[in-house]
Amino acid sequence: MNAKAGKAAKSGKDKKAGKAKEVKAGRPEKLERKVYEEELRKLQVELCNLQEWVKTHGKRVIIILEGRDTAGKSGLIRVIKERVSPRVFRVVALGSPTEDRRAKLFLQRYIEQFPVAGEVVIFDRSWYNRAGVERVLGLTDEKQVTDFLANVAQFERWLTASGIILIKLWLEIGKEEQERRLRVRIDDPLRQWKLSPMDLRSFSKWYDYSRARDEMFAASDHKAAPWYVLPSDDKKRARLNGISHILSRVPYEKIKHERPELPKRSNKGRYDDKLDPDKTKFVPTLF
C-alpha cells in the first residue's frame, strides 16, 4: 500500500470512528427494517402465547399507555394487535365525556371498560387523564386533581388484589422529536386526522406536562402497579421494547395444544359450483 493510500485508509477509518462516536453519544444507529421485522415477529408469537394463556385461565389484564401527544401510543397498539384476536385484545380510547357521562363518577367511565375473564384491555390514555391532559389544559380543577392523586394508588391496589394484572407504561418523547412529528402531521394528508385542536393547545405547555408527569409518578408509582418509562424517540425500538416489557410483566406460559388435522371434504351433494360470470357481479379488476 503506498503512502497516499495508507493516509486515505487511515482518514476513512478516523471518519468512521468519529461517526460511531457521534452515534454512541446521541441516539443509537437506526434499526434495520429486516432486523425490526424479525424481532417483531418473535414478539408477536409470544403475544399469541400470552393470549392463549389469558383465555385458558380466564385472566384479566389491563395495559395503560400514557404519554404526550405523538409519543407513539397508537403505533405500539397497532403492532400489539396486528396478530392477536380482537375478541381477546380490546382497545379503549375514550373521548370527551357527554353530558350524561359527566354526571357519573370520574372512574366509572373506565371501570365500565374493564376486562372480563379471558380478556386484555389496552387503554390508549386512561384515568390518568385527570392528572395529565385535563390538568394541563384546565379541564378540571386542582382539588379534583389532588383528590385523584391521593386515592389512585389505593384504587389500583384494589384492582390488583382482585386478580387484575395492571401494567402502566409512559412513552417518553423528546421536545425536538415531538415537534418533528407534529409538523409531519400538519403536512401529510394521511396523518392530518391525527392532529386535533387539543394537540395544538398542548404543544406550548411542555413544562406544564413535565411537572404534571413528575407529580403523577410521585403519587402513583407503587409496588402493586409501578410506572415504567419507555423512551419513544425511536419508534421501532420503542415498539420492540414496549412489547418485551409487557410480556415480562405477565407470568404466562405456553399452552400446549394438539396439532389439528384437516378433515376430508365430503363429496355428498357434489355439483358444479363455479360462479357464472354472465350472471354474477364481480368487483372490477383494476390492479
Lowest mean pLDDT among 65-69, 96-100, 193-197: 96-100
In percent, how much of the chain has pLDDT > 90? Answer: 80
Question: In angstroms, what CA-CA distances link 183 with 67, 75, 189, 195, 200?
Answer: 18, 17, 12, 10, 11
Residue 208 has pLDDT above 80, yes or no: yes
Give the predicted TM-score (pTM) of the model.
Answer: 0.86
Q: Residue 94: what pLDDT?
A: 92
CB atoms within 10 A of CB 48: 15
Q: Mean pLDDT in the chain?
A: 90
Residue 150 has pLDDT above 80, yes or no: yes
Tell me how far apart the alpha carbons of residues 227 and 135 are, in angstroms, rounded to a whole number: 19
Q: Are 68 and 270 in contact (CB under 8 A)?
A: no
Lowest mean pLDDT among 13-27, 108-122, 131-145: 13-27
Question: Hunting for cell 385461565 — which residue is that?
Answer: 57
- pLDDT average, residue stretch 105-116: 94
Q: Residue 196: what pLDDT?
A: 84
Residue 24 has pLDDT above 70, yes or no: no
Which backbone phi and psi does 229 adopt, to 5 degrees?
Answer: -95, 130
Domain boundaries along the sequence of the chain: 31-173+201-248
Q: Are 109 and 94 in contact (CB under 8 A)?
A: yes
Q: Residue 16: what pLDDT?
A: 47
User: pLDDT (tens digit, 9 = 90+) per residue, 166-196?
Assistant: 999 999 999 999 999 999 999 999 888 888 8
Instruction: Provide the CA 51 distance to its chain's centre, in angstroms.
Output: 16
Lowest mean pLDDT among 30-34, 74-78, 161-165, 236-240: 30-34
Could you give the strand order of the β-sheet that contains 119-124, starting from the edge strand earlier in sequence? 89-92, 119-124, 60-67, 164-172, 227-231
Fold assignment, 31-173+201-248: Rossmann fold (3.40.50)
Based on the number of CB atoms within 10 Å of its own CB, is 112 exposed (0-12), middle (13-18) or buried (19 or more)? Answer: exposed
Q: Residue 6: what pLDDT?
A: 54
